[in-house]
Amino acid sequence: MFISIEAVYVFLGLITLFGSLYTFRDQKNPRRVTSGLFYFLYGVTLLLGSVIPPFVMGLLVIVMVIIVGAGGLKTGSYGEASSEERHESRNRLGNRLFLPALLIPLITILGTTGLKEVKIGELFILDQKNITLVSLAIATLISLIVGIAMTRSRPMTPIKESRRLLEAIGWAAVLPQMLATLGTIFTSAGVGTVVSEWVSAIIPTHSLFWVVFAYCVGMAMFTMIMGNAFAAFPVMTAGIAVPLLIGQFGVDANHLAAIGMFAGYCGTLMTPMAANFNIVPAALLDLKDKNHVIRVQVPTALILLCFNIALLYFISL
């Protein structure tokens, strides 16, 4: 393949590493050395994750945890534009400001559907196992280039802004990878088998609707506990999706995975465990009630969950 998922992680790793260099030099950050080290190590895990031995990777993660636990992660100065400069730029660009954001979903869909099986010679253009993620990365890169051209920014501005946003999120930025790893551990420990036994004891497994209901609701609830749908997915898939929905009812695996993850995201909207989605925005908006974002999202999450249950059931008939 020409563009693999590894290339995406390399790109993310380079952005993070370059950003950490600015953190090391930030004299206004009271913990610039430890903060810079945290983001530097995070960049290394993204850049070299496929070649670093698991034991060494574990040591790097432990160092990152120690830095956070010891209060070594702080924010600094980012040289942001003044309110007058932002107002002037906003007036100059007008509605064109939305173009880069709109390009991301559009190009992602085009890449996922239009380049799915396109080859150059014998090689696929996109990584066949991660078409959506690679298409999203390409879309983001194109939108970044368009944004730089529109705003007439310097090439280093995206790195500085990426650093600012990453440091605003802080330690929560590593939660998706950590929780996805935890989900794999749970699966290896046999949690999926236990879930399957519970489901078989509680619901009528001969009913497609109730199995679909258990899978979607289970994805949402387990995501609320784990804080991430990626952590819930391997457990619920091993416990319900593979033995019952795929093995017994013959449900299409692609449809099952997509809708199952969407059901899990409904749980993401309703839990403080998803700190990078719910707690961080509250902190960035300086809300007094840190759970306000969650309360606002709960009705939408429940409606979407019901929709996912109905959708998966009807396409599985």
User: What's the domain count of the chain?
Assistant: 2
pLDDT at residue 298 greater than cutoff 90: yes
164-205 tens-digit pLDDT: 888 887 887 887 777 777 777 877 788 878 887 888 888 898
- Per-residue pLDDT averaged across 205-228, rounded? 91
For residues 39 and 167, the answer to whether their CB atoms sit within 8 Å is yes
Residues 38 and 84 in one domain: yes
Same domain, 204 and 166: no
Structure-token pair, residue 291? 């759970």
> How many angstroms separate the first and last alpha carbons of the chain?
36
pLDDT beyond 90 at 210 = yes
The span from the CA of 282 to the CA of 292, in Å, is 7
| Claim to verify: residue 166 and residue 194 sit in the same structural domain | no
Residue 40 above 80 pLDDT?
yes
Within a domain: residue 177? no
314 band by pLDDT with thresholds 50, 70 and 90: very high
- Are 128 and 232 in the same domain? no
Greater confidence, 193 or 298?
298
Task: Indicate whether 211 and 157 sit together in one domain.
Answer: no
| Same domain, residue pair 147 and 197 | no
In the numeric block, which tokens belong to residue 54? Answer: 């698991």
Question: Do both 133 and 227 map to the same domain?
Answer: no
Do the beta carbons of residue 139 and residue 106 sit within 8 Å?
yes
Proportion of the chain above pLDDT 70, given as a percent: 97
Which residues contact residue 303 at a Cβ distance below 8 angstroms, ignoring those fewer than 6 apart? none
Per DSSP, the three-state class of 3 is strand
State the Cα–Cα distance between residues 12 and 185, nearest whole angstrom.
25
Each residue's pLDDT tens digit, 111-162: 888 777 777 777 777 777 888 888 888 889 999 999 888 888 888 888 888 8
What pLDDT shows up at residue 4?
82
| C-alpha of 164 from chain center | 18
Average pLDDT over residues 302-314: 95
Range of the domain at 112: 1-170
Are 158 and 235 in a shared domain? no
pTM: 0.71
Query: Pick from 110, 141, 170: which residue ends a domain?
Result: 170
Say yes or no to pLDDT of 312 above 80: yes
By C-alpha distance, which of 224, 223, 204 is closest to 214?
204
Co-location of 164 and 263 in the same domain: no
Do 146 and 244 share a structural domain?
A: no
**CB-side neighbour CA atoms (13 Å) of 240:** 31
Query: Is the CA virtual torsion 176, 177, 178, 183 positive or negative?
Result: positive
**Burial letters 31-70, b for 16+ CB under 10 A, else e:** bbebbbbbbbbbbbbbbeeeeeeeeebeebbeebeebeee
Residue 217 CA, chain-centre distance (Å), reads 21
Measured CA to CA, the distance from residue 223 to residue 270 in angstroms comes to 9
Enumerate residues 6+ apart whose C-beta is below 8 A from 212.
245, 309, 312, 313, 316
* pLDDT value for 198: 86
Residue 144 and residue 2 share a domain? yes
Per-residue pLDDT band for 283 (boundaries 50, 70, 90) equals low
For residue 46, is pLDDT > 70?
Answer: yes
* Residue at a domain's end among 108, 139, 170: 170
Q: How confident is the model at residue 301 (pLDDT cuts 50, 70, 90)?
A: very high
Q: Average pLDDT over the chain, rounded to whole?
A: 86
Q: Give the separation between CA 22 and CA 43, rounded to whole angstroms.
A: 13
Give the per-residue pLDDT at 81.
Answer: 67
